[in-house]
A and B are shown apart, each in its own frame.
Chain A
Amino acid sequence: MEREIKFFKLIQETSFRRIEISYNNLVRHLERQERIKLEAIDVYRLLYPYVNKRFKEQLVTVIPLVLYLALFQILFLRQTIEDALTITLGIVAVIIGLMLFMEGLIKGLMPFGELLGNKLPQKSRLSTIMLITFLVGVGVTYAEPAMGALKTAGSIVNINKAPYLYVMLNQYGDILPVAVGIGVGIAALLGTLRFLKNWGLKNIIYISLIPTIGLTILSVLNEDLKSTIGLAWDCGAVTTGPVTVPLVLSLGIGVAAASSRGSSTLSGFGIVTLASLFPIIAVLVFANAIYYIAPIDINNLTRLATENGNTELSLFDKTPYLEIILGIRATVPLVLFLLIVLRFVVRERLKNPTYITYGIVLLIIGMIIFNIGLTYGLSNLGNQSGGLVPAAFTRLNGVENSPLYQYSIGLILALIFAFFLGFGATLAEPALNSLGITVENLTNGVFKKSILMYSVSFGVGLGIMLGIVKITFDIPLHLLLIPLYIVGVILTALSSEEYVNVAWDSAGVTTGPVTVPLVLAMGLGFGNALGTTESFGTLSLASICPIISVLSMGLIIKFIVSRKATGEFKNPKGNIIKETV
């Protein structure tokens, strides 16, 4: 119709070279499947989007949090950030480390999980499967990036005020992850059994809570062990991270699918809940075991600690070699174990060994870089701002003009800070987004993705706020946790199975590798500045609060839906008549 020539088409015509060749000829040349020779520009163009996408993924989760902490410190507390350069480099290391680690996880570790999950049930008896599931549970805990944060946290604990806590994190610092791992292992085992036998999650929650709460009360009654409760409950939140959840899940789902009994849409849920409850039991048992089997002599311990000098106590006297060793120790055993199982039990070979090797190399390097970033970036920053926030409402040495605000205003400011830290960090967590989508599908769109995301984030924010309240007024953790869990249990009893699954899992899914170290370090810095005995527990409060908020939201939605439904039945005239005309 139109006979105009567009200008850009003219330019294109002159600058864009077109060559026509016959595919027949091309195929003849390509017959041998030879490697393609790449030029530098091609490598760049190939790698740029690949790296860019993965880098940005981590950037958007890390940067807002870091900026929030930094800006709060500068604007409201009017303090400059110490070691700004170190922290910045540390944060960059965290982003790069996480990027490599996550890519390594997808390329290197996940194929193992999928292959094992699919093939193991066909080739082994149930007892073997259970043993392997258990051992994988132990292994993944070691590989969890946030576990490194516990080690860092250990050096801040005051040896005189909480000797058992100190011992658990330092002298027995290598055994603690094993204890946590055993907890996760049992959880993985039970979770898989649950898929096979179709047990309801409600009953499992009730049954697992009995020993959890029981051991907590037992430890509360013991003056020496009181200080370990916070650590134990926080371990539950630390374990459910980016390695444990997908690997254990893919195993569990694979087993359930192979037995073709896991027909429910809910298969896949529940393991996370168990994996955050059983480590609590395991750590509490561990604490009690130390107390009864090898009780510690405080004088002896203090002497030892001072003999070891500052190398043991200081946060930053670590060489990068330590991180390298830690990184290798966290990942290599798991990979080796999976390889051995695959070779000798399942007798399968991996497809694409090149990619898997590449993934595993990335996994290890990523873990090392992340660990370095964790120490110098996240823990440093969290500890620093945590230590300064109390200056808003109380007198702190080293902070001029403190308290900066009136007591009540300062405290409210600190609480608002804590709330939005939790709220924002959770909302940015990519795992929450995918959980939201699953839930929306599961409930046929009744429980909207955004509603879930906001209620979980609200819960986490509330939990971290409660954690700050706990540290500020030195409230014993059990006085907060036990009532909250009772509320949780009551709401669980009232809710339907779907919502119970979603709510209890939401807490574990959302505490990722950035949030955990940051919140942990912040709590510890905060507590140290105020001189409280132990400052763990914030994470555990951030776990139970979203459970309650999601369950309540579920009940509210159910109520609204049922009211709407009855309302429509009462007045059915309008729509139907219109449609027939």
Chain B
Amino acid sequence: MNKARQMVTLKDVSLITCIVQKGVADDIVKAASEVGAQGATIFYARGTGVRERLGILGVAVDVEKEVLNIVVANEQVDLIFEKMFLAGKLDTPGMGFMYVTPLLKAATYIPPEILDKLSKENC
């Protein structure tokens, strides 16, 4: 019963961060999950930027934002990035901003059966 605790570190991971208006994040998470994102963390935030340069139309842009953090595999990053871009309609002024950062490593719970499979493949 007294199993030694272990940590599995993941390599080849990237972080997609996407800043959108409040209320839009859920749609983007849905789109990202459809193409393989495993989960998302959403922060609430406030921010400025394009809104101030839109003139009176700036009222249509909410000051309150949602910041999405999605950790993805390097292989998936381009696909998910583009899907999120389209789902968030980021090609419209004031809709948001997104970027990818490379991550050195990540760690979380990995199901043991998948871990077994993977270690066999690597050997």
Chain A positions within 8 Å of B, measured between CB atoms, are 9, 12, 16, 33-36, 38, 42-43, 45-47, 49-50, 53, 107, 354-355, 358-359
Number of interface residues of B (CB under 8 A): 20
Roughly how many angstroms separate A358 CA and B54 CA in the complex, as a whole number? 14
- A36 pairs with B93, CB closer than 8 A: yes
- B79 pairs with A33, CB closer than 8 A: no
Interface flag for B57 (CB, 8 Å): yes
B31 → chain A, closest Cβ, in Å?
A: 12
Roughly how many angstroms separate A354 CA and B23 CA in the complex, as a whole number? 25
Chain A residues with CB under 8 A of B94: 46
- B92 pairs with A42, CB closer than 8 A: yes
Contacts A16-B82, A45-B92, A46-B93 given; indicate if A53 touches B57 (C-beta within 8 A).
Answer: no
Chain A residues with CB under 8 A of B61: 46, 50
Contacts A36-B93, A38-B93 given; indicate if A46 touches B53 (C-beta within 8 A).
Answer: no
Chain A residues with CB under 8 A of B89: 45
0/1 interface trace, chain B 74-86, chain A, CB 8 Å (1 if under): 0000010010001
Chain A residues with CB under 8 A of B86: 16
B44 → chain A, closest Cβ, in Å?
A: 15
Interface flag for B104 (CB, 8 Å): no
A182 → chain B, closest Cβ, in Å?
A: 35
Task: Please name the residue on chain B nearest to A9 by beta carbon.
Answer: B79
Interface flag for B4 (CB, 8 Å): no
- B79 pairs with A46, CB closer than 8 A: no
Known: A36-B93, A38-B93, A358-B56. 4 other contacts (CB 8 A): A38-B57, A45-B95, A107-B59, A355-B58
- A358 pairs with B59, CB closer than 8 A: yes
Chain B residues with CB under 8 A of A43: 57
Roughly how many angstroms separate A34 CA and B92 CA in the complex, as a whole number? 17
Contacts A36-B50, A36-B53 given; indicate if A42 touches B59 (C-beta within 8 A).
Answer: no
Chain A residues with CB under 8 A of B93: 36, 38, 42, 46
- Does more than half of chain A's interface fall in helix, strand or loop, or is it mixed? helix
Roughly how many angstroms separate A49 CA and B55 CA in the complex, as a whole number? 18
Chain A residues with CB under 8 A of B82: 12, 16
Roughly how many angstroms separate A16 CA and B93 CA in the complex, as a whole number? 18
Roughly how many angstroms separate A249 CA and B42 CA in the complex, as a whole number? 30
Interface flag for B60 (CB, 8 Å): yes
Contacts A9-B79, A45-B89, A46-B93 given; indicate if A35 touches B59 (C-beta within 8 A).
Answer: no
Which parts of B66-122 form the interface with A (CB within 8 Å)?
79, 82, 86, 89, 92-95
Chain A CB within 10 Å, residue with most, of B56, B93, B95: B93
- B60 pairs with A34, CB closer than 8 A: no
Contacts A38-B93, A53-B23 given; indicate if A355 touches B53 (C-beta within 8 A).
Answer: no
Roughly how many angstroms separate A358 CA and B55 CA in the complex, as a whole number? 11
Question: 20 pairs across A/B with beta carbons < 8 Å?
Answer: A16-B86, A33-B52, A35-B54, A35-B55, A36-B50, A36-B93, A38-B93, A42-B92, A42-B93, A46-B57, A46-B60, A46-B61, A46-B92, A49-B60, A53-B23, A107-B59, A354-B58, A355-B58, A355-B59, A358-B59
Roughly how many angstroms separate A9 CA and B95 CA in the complex, as a whole number? 24
0/1 interface trace, chain B 29-47, chain A, CB 8 Å (1 if under): 0000000000000000000
Roughly how many angstroms separate A60 CA and B86 CA in the complex, as a whole number? 29
Chain A residues with CB under 8 A of B58: 354-355
Roughly how many angstroms separate A354 CA and B54 CA in the complex, as a whole number? 12
- A35 pairs with B92, CB closer than 8 A: no
A152 → chain B, closest Cβ, in Å?
A: 32
- A35 pairs with B60, CB closer than 8 A: no
Chain A residues with CB under 8 A of B60: 46-47, 49-50
Roughly how many angstroms separate A53 CA and B27 CA in the complex, as a whole number? 14
Roughly how many angstroms separate A358 CA and B60 CA in the complex, as a whole number? 11
Task: Please name the residue on chain B nearest to A44 by beta carbon.
Answer: B92
Chain A residues with CB under 8 A of B92: 42, 45-46
Of the candidates B53, B56, B79, B95, the one whose C-beta lies within 8 Å of that of A354 is B56
Roughly how many angstroms separate A498 CA and B57 CA in the complex, as a whole number? 43
- A47 pairs with B53, CB closer than 8 A: no
Roughly how many angstroms separate A136 CA and B79 CA in the complex, as a whole number? 55
Roughly how many angstroms separate A50 CA and B51 CA in the complex, as a whole number? 13
Roughly how many angstroms separate A107 CA and B82 CA in the complex, as a whole number? 34
Chain A residues with CB under 8 A of B23: 53
Roughly how many angstroms separate A107 CA and B60 CA in the complex, as a whole number? 11
Roughly how many angstroms separate A9 CA and B83 CA in the complex, as a whole number? 10
Roughly how many angstroms separate A46 CA and B54 CA in the complex, as a whole number? 10
Task: Please name the residue on chain B nearest to A34 by beta carbon.
Answer: B53
B53 → chain A, closest Cβ, in Å?
A: 5
